[in-house]
Structure 1
Amino acid sequence: MDITSDLKKAKRGAIAKAISIFENDEKESRKLIKKIFKSSGKSVIIGITGPAGAGKSSLIDKTVIKLKKLGMKPAVLAIDPTSHISGGAILGDRVRMTEATDSGTYIRSIASRGATGAISRSIRNSIRVLEYAGFDPIIIESVGAGQTEIEISNIADITVVVFNPHTGDSIQTIKAGITEIGDIYLVHKSDLEGASQLFQSAQDFIGTVEKNPPILKVSSKTEEGISEFLAELKKLITKRRKEKKLSEKQKLSKELDDIILNNINRKVATMLHSSKSYSDYLKKVQDRKMDPFEAADKISNGIVK
């Protein structure tokens, strides 16, 4: 059954089904990507990242409502830490985005499944589904867990980094490579104690960065700073729209590399373990007759001429 006509009408069932296909069914996802790829790559992607408990969901809730008032049609993809029992995503985010959900915004949680490359693949294709259904901008929410947020910044056109005064080691988090990825930094829950101190630290660490991103204090609860944040976001959305063609070329180059390397890895892994020379060299290493580096060189040379 072809779901693309329902997708074009932004029917929720069709969107959910298409995203599930990309998550779980490689054969069907190949067919679907052929149909929707040509019309993808036009929406602005906003990545919102930060430690668990930074209040990203309630912030996104407010942001989505305001973007809709500006005449935009936002959708949200929330990357959840995988529920290890079921392998599905924990749907806490949807509960916290009540206003956005009530207003008819499409919100979907995606399980991170603990694999970095898999996140990129799953998100890139889910974005394409939402683009085909006419959503723009598309907001991706992720828990700031090192590699994931760097990956998000490779996919997003705009990266918003959220901190809050009660995430314990948030000052250290700021130092850890996160200063390069943000286009806007927010000290959220600015009504809480410690917010001013954190804001000062953020300015000290991030204020020296070359692109000099805005650092704002905001609160979803009191709405302090929300309209300033929206003004900065709106400026960036306009700017990124103009640069979209070029940034899309760079993203596709990165995606193609990822897919090729992934294909090669799978093929090599299959060849390796069915090859007699692999088991011969492995035995030599296990018997301490050869070191693993020398054995790896010999096996690699046998595979890649």
Structure 2
Amino acid sequence: MDMLVDLKKGKRGAIAKAITIMENDQKESKKIIKKIFKDTGNSIIIGITGPAGAGKSSLINKTAVEMKKLGTKPAVLAIDPTSHVTGGAILGDRVRMTESTDSGTYIRSIASRGATGAVSRSLRNSIRILEYAGFNPIIIESVGAGQTEVEISNIADITVVVFNPNTGDSIQTIKAGLTEIGDIYLVNKSDLAGTNQLFDAVRDFIGDSVRNPTILKTSVKKNSGITLFAKTLKDMMKSKKKVKSEKDQKRLEAELKDIVLNNIKEKMDHMLDSDKSFSKYLKKLQAKTIDPFDAGDKITKSLLK
């Protein structure tokens, strides 16, 4: 496969093509993963999450430029809420991130498609493509929509939670889940009023926890705090490298279970469509001569004979 040769060289066209395959073509993606799997798993994954409007895109843009200066080779995957009309990612290829793209950072949006499992699958494999192409770290930006945030922290080695003084003035509005996942908490847009109160609140509310996360202020507008943030990330990449393998073992276990359950579900759907006892008990259920649990148990028994 010529594509693999180009991938290894980090050629953009090959990377774009491979990630599109990971998103849309299960059969082809299996073939590619089979060939590259041994050479993946070595990059540190940085998940950046937080409420919409926290200024994550512009922040990541600047931070990627700084991280490049520090000698790393970052890539960015932005998970966008799906546009229901086209099924593609709304924000396309990230207009706001031109600066970091010019400096050689690879940036790509992938649609979240609403299904938790599907995000994990195309995300996991897109990460593998970027690892194979030599990027490290790989920054995942999630558009803060509930479930994805916690999912990101399962995939990431370093989780960064971004707040800004405008997203509800009080710490009470911050979702409980976010207080448990961050390695770094950023008060972004720190040129705005209310920054110090929010910073103190985050420090008092989250900083005292057992995990002892780092809390920083950044402002893209004033270009302040970003160099320190990039440096903190680079230092953390070193320390996380040590514990990464243990986390990876757990991730691979979760992935394997996902794949097996998914395979079984597909097989089951197929069996139910052609299963005589399914239609027999469905008719009884619809006529109310049997209750749903009883019908379910009888069909399950007949399938697992």
Q: Assess same fold via TM > 0.5.
A: yes
Aligned to 1:48: 48
Q: 3-state SS of the aligned residue for 1:52?
A: coil
Give unmatched runs, 5+ long, in structure 2.
none
Moved more, 49-58 or 167-176: 167-176
Are the structure 2 counterparts of residues 198 and 93 from structure 1 closer, same or farther at C-alpha, using a change threshold of 3 Å?
A: farther
- The runs of 4+ residues in structure 1 deviating greater than 6 Å are none
d(CA) in 2 for partners of 1:15 and 1:284?
53
d(CA) in 1 for partners of 2:294 and 2:35?
47
Shift of 1:89: 1.0
Aligned to 2:76: 76
Shift of 1:170: 7.0
Shift of 1:8: 1.0
Q: 3-state SS of the aligned residue for 1:97?
A: helix
Residues 182-261 of structure 1 aligned to structure 2 (within 5 Å)? 182-261=182-261
d(CA) in 2 for partners of 1:179 and 1:301?
44
The amino acid across from 1:239 in the alignment is S
Shift of 1:208: 4.0
For residues 252-296 of structure 1, give each alpha carbon's deviation from its aligned partner in whole angstroms, at most 9, with x where no partner exists: 111111111111111112212321222222223222233222322
Q: 3-state SS of the aligned residue for 1:237?
A: helix
Are the structure 2 counterparts of residues 195 and 297 from structure 1 closer, same or farther at C-alpha, using a change threshold of 3 Å?
A: farther
Residues 1-305 of structure 1 aligned to structure 2 (within 5 Å)? 1-91=1-91, 94-168=94-168, 171-172=171-172, 174-304=174-304
Decide whether the 8 Å contact of 1:54 with 1:188 is kept in 2: yes
Shift of 1:172: 4.6
d(CA) in 1 for partners of 2:293 and 2:172?
36
d(CA) in 2 for partners of 1:154 and 1:25?
24
* Percent identity for Structure 1 against Structure 2: 70
Are the structure 2 counterparts of residues 266 and 92 from structure 1 closer, same or farther at C-alpha, using a change threshold of 3 Å?
A: closer
The amino acid across from 2:50 in the alignment is G
The amino acid across from 1:263 in the alignment is N
d(CA) in 2 for partners of 1:92 and 1:267?
34
Decide whether the 8 Å contact of 1:174 with 1:205 is kept in 2: no
Q: 3-state SS of the aligned residue for 2:79?
A: strand
The amino acid across from 1:116 in the alignment is T
Moved more, 140-149 or 173-182: 173-182
d(CA) in 1 for partners of 2:194 and 2:119?
34
Give unmatched runs, 5+ long, in structure 1.
none
User: What root-mean-square deviation, in Å, do the aligned CA atoms of Structure 1 and Structure 2 show?
Assistant: 1.8
d(CA) in 2 for partners of 1:287 and 1:201?
59
User: Under a length normalisation based on structure 1, what TM-score does the superposition of the two structures give?
Assistant: 0.94
d(CA) in 1 for partners of 2:276 and 2:170?
51
The amino acid across from 1:62 in the alignment is K
Decide whether the 8 Å contact of 1:72 with 1:136 is kept in 2: yes
Shift of 1:300: 2.3
The amino acid across from 2:231 in the alignment is A
d(CA) in 2 for partners of 1:46 and 1:153?
9
Decide whether the 8 Å contact of 1:164 with 1:170 is kept in 2: no
Shift of 1:80: 0.8
d(CA) in 1 for partners of 2:256 and 2:236?
27
d(CA) in 1 for partners of 2:36 and 2:10?
13
